[in-house]
A = this chain, B = another copy of it.
Amino acid sequence: MTEDGSGREALVPKAVVSRLSLYLRELQHLHRKDQKTISSSKLGRALGFSAAQVRKDFAYFGQFGYPGIGYRCEELIDKIKRILGTDKTWPVVLVGCGNMGQALLGYRGFAKQGFDVVAVVDVDENVLGKAFEGLVVEHIDRLPDIVKQHSLQVAILAVPANAAAAAAEQILNSGITGILNFAPVTLSVPKSVSLVEVDLAMELEQLAFSVFQNKTQ
């Protein structure tokens, strides 16, 4: 990681960070197939980026490659994980245990990338006290305790739209500093709290537009 001498990280374009996740996914795929090294041009081709883009992206963080050889997969995986902060496991709390929440609980992909759901909260009598994937659903009022107990920083919000604002309020009050929001509403959070939004209907809209546009050239 590069420091600029002022004691703070050089700021990294958001676009670079999202590509970092894609590189990581692809590199892990290559590593499983026992590939030792990869060039920027091949990695770029696999993901649909230019070779220059790949090299520039990594250059934000230092010198990762070997001229004439390329990048060593395993080494690069470690470096990207360290940059993203996922070289250590992140404990997370799931807020909302309906349809979407239960599906997320069953999704094994989180664990593989270094995230561990350690608690589930809700307000619905129908799920409170029940166990899903080995976790007993607790009341959302217990959130501050849970956050302290596990030193949590991140919550996944998966409640219906009409419950989202209230749930978000409780999350913010519990000391959480990052929210992954699946509810289709715009949350307003202080600048000190990070927010990533995933709206499934919006993604479909984007796709519809793209299909639509493709059809009319």
Contact = CB atoms under 8 A, between A and B. Distances in A.
A29 B196 CA distance: 20
A36 B206 CA distance: 26
This chain's copy number in the assembly: 2
A205 B109 contact: no
A190 to B, nearest CB: 11
Interface in A145-195: 153-154, 156, 161, 177-180, 184-186, 192-195
Given A17-B206, A180-B207, A109 B200 contact: yes
A100 to B, nearest CB: 5
8 contacts: A47-B186, A84-B208, A100-B103, A110-B201, A112-B201, A114-B208, A154-B211, A194-B211
A33 to B, nearest CB: 13
A69 B180 CA distance: 36
A174 to B, nearest CB: 14
Interface string A80-124: 000111100010100000011011101101101111000000000
Instruction: Please classify the interface of chain A as helix (H, G, I), strand (E, B), loop, or mixed, using the class held by over half of its residues.
Output: helix
Given A85-B208, A103-B103, A109-B184, 17 more contacts: A17-B206, A21-B206, A25-B184, A83-B209, A85-B211, A85-B212, A90-B208, A92-B204, A102-B103, A112-B201, A113-B204, A115-B204, A153-B211, A154-B211, A180-B207, A194-B211, A198-B200
B90 A99 contact: no
A52 to B, nearest CB: 19
Contact of A99 (B17, B107, B194): B107
